[in-house]
Copies of this chain bind each other. A is one copy, B any other.
Amino acid sequence: MYMSPDYISAPQSLLVSSFFNISDYKKSPSENLAPRDYKRVYAKHEQLFFEGDSETHIFQVLDGVVGIYKILSDGRRQIVSLSYPGEFVSLGQFDKYTYNCEALCKSCIRCMPVSAVEKMIKTDPCFGWALLNMASLELASTREQLLTLGRKTAPEKIASFLLDISRRVQVLGQDPNRFNILINRGDIADYLGLTIETVSRNFTKLRKAEIIATPSTSQIVINDIERLKQISAEEMAF
């Protein structure tokens, strides 16, 4: 599981494909970026960067999960973004990091120096355009999460979370009804603005209703995705 997949041949998320389309456009994909790219395995709880660090790299998760988070002075934590394999971290920050970031499980990460990215943006308008689209997708999913945190109940949050991960897994070409969430209850709680106990109770409720099964604590099998969607409180369709 913790082997580094080949990121070029891996199934590509939306973000990945928009990124690489631009490389294709240049017809020299590796010229600016590849020479100084490297891959690194981060241990669980290892930090990729802290708030206030000057930005040296942008990251792509190859395997594992990375979380961006903020902490209040009394220790309350909110994870503002989860990055699953194929997804990028810390795009659109080209000065100082303004968040903390850690590997939520043992993770293999591709690290790209920011200087190369900056150079490409300044010389290739289409590259900047692609990055803008990626930032805009990130903004959209963050706003979606705002709706979840602001207006959904605990059971709705859990159902929305499972559907969210299911969709990300599907983009990678894997089974959307059987996946490993890779992170523990505490991290889910901090992503959804709940406590560990509430997360656990709602997993139990879904399990007892046979909507999901959990062969192990982080392995999820969705038995009834329609009921999961009902529970998740979908958005108004105009």
Binding site for B on A (CB under 8 A): 50-52, 68, 70-78, 80-81, 92-94, 98-100, 121-126, 128-129, 131-133, 135-136, 138-140, 142-147, 149-152, 190, 192-193, 233-238
Contact = CB atoms under 8 A, between A and B. Distances in A.
Given A123-B125, A125-B122, A72 B139 contact: no
B147 A146 contact: no
Contacts of A129: 121-122, 128
B92 A132 contact: yes
B149 A233 contact: no
Contact of A74 (B73, B81, B233): B233
Most B CB within 10 A of own CB, among A70, A77, A93, A190:
A70
A105 to B, nearest CB: 21
A143 B100 CA distance: 12
A123 B235 CA distance: 37
A147 B78 contact: yes
A132 B140 contact: no
9 contacts: A73-B237, A74-B233, A92-B132, A93-B140, A94-B136, A99-B143, A124-B125, A135-B135, A139-B139
Given A128-B132, A139-B92, A147 B235 contact: no
B121 A125 contact: yes
A14 B213 CA distance: 49
A235 to B, nearest CB: 6
Given A72-B235, A131-B132, 4 more contacts: A50-B238, A128-B128, A142-B142, A145-B146
Contacts of A77: 151
Contacts of A70: 143-144, 147, 235-236
